[in-house]
Every structure is written in structure tokens, then in C-alpha cells.
Amino acid sequence: MTDSTSTPPASLASRSWWGWGAAAQALPDAECTALGALVPGSASTPLPVPDIAHLELPRVRVEPPPALAPLMSAAPEDRAAHTYGKAYRDVVRALNGDLSAAPDQVAHPRTEQDVVDILGWAADEDVAVVPYGAGSSVVGGVEYREDRHRGVVSLDLSRLDRVLEIDRVSRAARIQAGALGPALEAQLRPHGLTLRHFPQSFEFSTLGGWLATRAGGHYATLYTHIDDLVESLRVVTPVGINESLRLPGSGAGPSPDRLFLGSEGTLGVITEAWMRLQDRPRHKASATVLFGDIHAAMDAVRAIAQSGLHPANCRLLDPGEAALAGVARDGESVLVLGVESAHSPVGERLAELVTLARDHGGSPTPTGPGTEDAAAGTWRSAFLRMPYLRDALARMSVVTETFETACTWDRAPDLYETVRRRLGDVVREVTGAAGTVNCRFTHVYPDGPAPYFTVIAPGRRGDEVAMWDEIKSEAMRILTDHGATVTHHHAVGRDHRPGYDRQRPEPFAHALRAVKQALDPAGILNPGVLVDPAAAG
């Protein structure tokens, strides 16, 4: 066995190995049962959470050389915690004790040189390396599914968690890729600065993960993806370290950073980045607007997205989603608006936004600047609690998962109606129950929204994953048929490969395979994600 003194940082010790986030936040059995009762047809008792000590893990096939041994662990708890991401299908499989995809080793590099050394060894030994930030992937991004390597190492970057340098004048910081959201914000706060990238997974995902997957953050408009916050990247590739120049803007050839943003660990391991920061907001205001008609609400959101007013928050919840979050009843849609600024009062801007919403038939619940209105607060609590509720429902064999997309405004109403209708049909066929298909717009652009769908239906114990896969497959087909992307901010991973392969232009796919071959000639980096190796010869 390898050095068992290699344990994850203390801050991670309390993490759930099978479900979302902090183990202590998981709902107790009684609450799972109560929650399951809200979904007619679901199981009457929760699936038990297995004890790792009683689970069978596959044999460890590779051992690190002595120089790397102190960085690696083959302890069952480490391997189990690094087997899956946090998709619904991951949680169900973990609950079922299926750890057949567990990595052989979990590496915890302490330095960039450790990363270089591990990649060098893995390439020599034909060992696959799966870069791992904090494992919040919901698309199979951290789960090895091939059968073409001698072994698999999960490369956990959580020890590279420091803010290394701050440039107060340019408002930028050099940050290590393994830093979790709260850790990096805590290091920026004393300087009055913030990255202000707050995905739902904020507490349990890392800067490197955000960059590798082109994550979407807090802002509903303007700066939505992490891409725009990047000044430069430092990436360990198997053929050398790729460090781009720190630049506020450039037109020198295709952007080097944009090749690695979204590369999902297939082209290299991001070890650090210079990130653009912002002053901490001092002025905030929010408001809620109710709509009797979802299409009127969409028109309002479009007008707002095209107004140049750049609200920080502009989330539209459809009637089902609003009811689920407890912020509306009676079939109303809810628009939650927020404006923020570090420099200027925002009351007037909020008033303009509310006026636009009212012009499109909305009924505002006005609030003054500096206050958070009740519906917005309720919705935010529900938002952060959602993954834990999802896990509780999973334990009750409820099929419950989300998928998200983006499309232009001309297609959005039809896409919304089609997903609701056809997916409703599929849910009925697959589960035998009505279920619910809800939608919210999480981000909105002048040329289109990013709809985010939630499916909830009672499943059959033992068939949950197959049932979800069938529903998801139809969802992907509808998205592709409507020219919508298979993912706006969750990434492609392995789960979205079929849809991604259809969506991606073929010459670009050809180019990407060439890049893969050039940067990762041994084909060890996150195999199966995004691209397959080019045919030999």
C-alpha cells in the first residue's frame, strides 16, 4: 500500500463521499421519508447510505514509484470519494455501493512540479490521469469509463489552494487552481477585492474546475462565464508548461487561453491563473415581479437583457419552479431582479428594470435600495439547499435531476414548450407517473436565454439510473433539434458526449483531435471526455 499519511486537507474531511457537499448537511432518514411523501409513487423508506468499510473496491492495479508514493493514497475512503462526480446518476450508484469505477490511486500534489512528475510517470506507465478539483461535476467529468489504460489516477488539486499574488492596481490575482470558492474569497477579502464568481457549487468547486469547464457564475448578465474573468492561465501539459501573458485584451492570433478554457482536463492540468477581480459591491437592491403568463415574462426578460442595464440577477422561474421554491402559487411566473455596484447607488437602475417588467405585464413587488426582498431571499436559500434535497429524494428513489442549455430568443418559447410537453410525455412513459418538468432562466443574454430544467418523478428502486438516462437522452435530442447547446455551463464530460459530438462542427472536431494528439501524445489525460484520440497513422 502507498503512504497512508496522505490525507486530504482538513477542510475537505467533512465532505460527503456519496452525495453533495458537507456530510453533516445531508438530510436525516426521517426527513428523507417526509420529503419522499411529497412525490406520490416514490419509495416509502430511504436507501441506506452504505459503509465504505463494507464495500468492495476493485483491485489496485498500479503503484506509484517511491518518489511519488508520499503524494498518493489508495485508501478505500479516498478511492470511493473520487469515483464519481455529483450527478444524480453518480449519487444513486454510490448509494447502491457500486464503486467498480474507482481510481487505483488518488494523488494530492503539493506543488506544480508534483503535477509535472505525476504526468511524466503516468505517460511512461500508460496510466490515465483524471484531473479532480472538488468533484462537483454533474456530467461524468471525473469518472474514468474506458478500458485502455494500465490504471487510473485521480489527480486531486485541493492542496494547491493559495492566492499567490495580488496586483491591487490592475485588480488581479494569481490564484492556484485547487482553491475552493470560499478559500479564495477569504484570501481576497482583506484586500477589499472579490472574484465574484458564485456558481451554485461555490462551496464545493475549485477555480481550476471552473476554468476547465467554463463555469457559469452568479451574474445573470454581462460577466456570466468564468472565461471573461481570465487574464492568463498556467497549464501543465504533457509536452510542457503553457503560460500565457497577463493581458487585459489582445488580438495576437487565436486566444491561447480559450483553447484551454473548456478543455475539461483533456489537454493539460490548469495549475494557476491570473484572474480579474472586482471591488466588493456596496450598493445592492432587488425586486420580485410576478407574471400571470410565462410568455409575457419571457418577453420582459428579453427586453431587460437587451436594455444594457446589466442586472446582476435576472432569474425567471416558471410556475412549477416558483411553486417548488415557495415564492409563488396560482401558476404565476416569478422574475427575481438584482442590481449591484461597488461605486454608485443602484436604486434608479432597479426602477428602470422594474418599469420594463411592468411594461410587459408584470406585477412588481417593489422594495427600496439596499434591501433584499423576501422572495429573493427565500429563493436563494432554496437554491443553495437544492442539492441536498436532491440527494434526499434520490434516497427515496425519486428520479430528480437538472439539465441546462442556451439558445437564441427566436427559439426559446418553442424550446420551452417542447421540452415541457415532450419530456412530460417521456417521464410518464418511463415512470408511469405525471412527474414535473420545471424551468428557470439562470442567465440571459441580449440574444438569448440559458434555460435550466428540473425533472422530478417517482422512480423504481434499482432502475433509477436507467430511467433517468432514458429521460435525459430525449432531452438531449430536443435540445439538438432546436439548435440549443447541450450545456451552457455544466460542461460536456462523458454524459454529454453524444449530443456534443453532434453539435460540434466536424472540422473543429478534427482540429481538437489534432491538438489532443499534439499536447497529450500518450493519451492519458481524462480519456473519453470531449474527444477520442485521433486514429493512429
> Which residues, numbered 3-62, are part of the site for a copy of itself (CB under 8 A)?
none
Options 410, 417, 425, 469; binder of a copy of itself; rule CB under 8 A: 410
Considering only residues 114 to 143 of the shown chain, the ones binding a copy of itself according to CB under 8 A are none
Residue 537 near a copy of itself by CB under 8 A:
no
Name which of 284 and 460 has its Cβ closer to a copy of itself.
284
Q: How far apart are CA 515 and CA 530, in angstroms?
A: 12
Name which of 73 and 402 has its Cβ closer to a copy of itself.
402
Q: How far apart are CA 436 and CA 426, in angstroms?
A: 11
Residues 287-306, one symbol each (x = binds a copy of itself by CB under 8 A, - = not), give ---------------x---x
Options 200, 242, 436, 454; binder of a copy of itself; rule CB under 8 A: 242
Q: How far apart are CA 424 and CA 471, in angstroms?
A: 9
Which residue stretch of 313-321, 326-334, 425-433, 485-493 sits at the interface with a copy of itself (rule: CB under 8 A)? 485-493
Query: What's the grid cell of residue 49?
Result: 447510505
Q: How far apart are CA 159 and CA 48, in angstroms?
A: 32
Options 254, 329, 330, 535; binder of a copy of itself; rule CB under 8 A: 254
Residue 267 near a copy of itself by CB under 8 A:
yes
Name which of 250 and 473 has its Cβ closer to a copy of itself.
250
- Check if the beta carbon of residue 237 is closer than 8 Å to that of residue 493: no
User: Cα-flanking dihedrals φ and ψ of residue 29, to 5°?
Assistant: -50, -45
DSSP 114: H
Options 69, 296, 466, 515; binder of a copy of itself; rule CB under 8 A: 515
Residues 317-346, one symbol each (x = binds a copy of itself by CB under 8 A, - = not), give ------------------------xxxx--
Task: Report the Cα 183 to chain-centroid distance in Å.
Answer: 18
**Interface with a copy of itself: number of residues (CB under 8 A):** 94
Name which of 433 and 515 has its Cβ closer to a copy of itself.
515
Measure CA of the first residue to CA of the last residue in the chain; give whole Å.
Answer: 39
Closest CB 360 distance from a copy of itself, rounded Å: 14
Q: How far apart are CA 491 and CA 529, in angstroms?
A: 10
Residue 452 near a copy of itself by CB under 8 A:
no
Q: How far apart are CA 181 and CA 189, in angstroms?
A: 12
Name which of 99 and 226 has its Cβ closer to a copy of itself.
226
Closest CB 410 distance from a copy of itself, rounded Å: 5
Identity of the amino acid at 232: S
Residue 365 near a copy of itself by CB under 8 A:
no
Closest CB 340 distance from a copy of itself, rounded Å: 9
Q: How far apart are CA 372 and CA 356, in angstroms?
A: 20
Compute the C-alpha angle 276/281/286, nearest 5°: 125
Considering only residues 188 to 217 of the shown chain, the ones binding a copy of itself according to CB under 8 A are 213-216
Options 110, 246, 385, 461; binder of a copy of itself; rule CB under 8 A: 246
Closest CB 395 distance from a copy of itself, rounded Å: 29
Which long-range CB contacts under 8 A does 374-381 form with residues at least 24 apart?
374/288, 375/288, 375/327, 375/328, 375/334, 375/336, 376/286, 376/287, 376/288, 376/313, 376/336, 376/338, 378/325, 378/326, 378/327, 379/315, 379/317, 379/325, 379/327, 379/334, 379/336
DSSP 507: H
Options 189, 258, 282, 385; binder of a copy of itself; rule CB under 8 A: 258
Q: How far apart are CA 91 and CA 351, in angstroms?
A: 43
Options 159, 443, 472, 494; binder of a copy of itself; rule CB under 8 A: 443
Closest CB 25 distance from a copy of itself, rounded Å: 27
Residue 83 near a copy of itself by CB under 8 A:
no
Considering only residues 494 to 513 of the shown chain, the ones binding a copy of itself according to CB under 8 A are 496, 500, 503-508, 510-513
- Check if the beta carbon of residue 157 is closer than 8 Å to that of residue 132: yes
**Residues with Cβ < 8 Å from 523, sequence gap 6 or more?**
148, 516, 533
Considering only residues 164 to 183 of the shown chain, the ones binding a copy of itself according to CB under 8 A are 167, 169-172
Residue 308 near a copy of itself by CB under 8 A:
yes
Name which of 79 and 197 has its Cβ closer to a copy of itself.
197
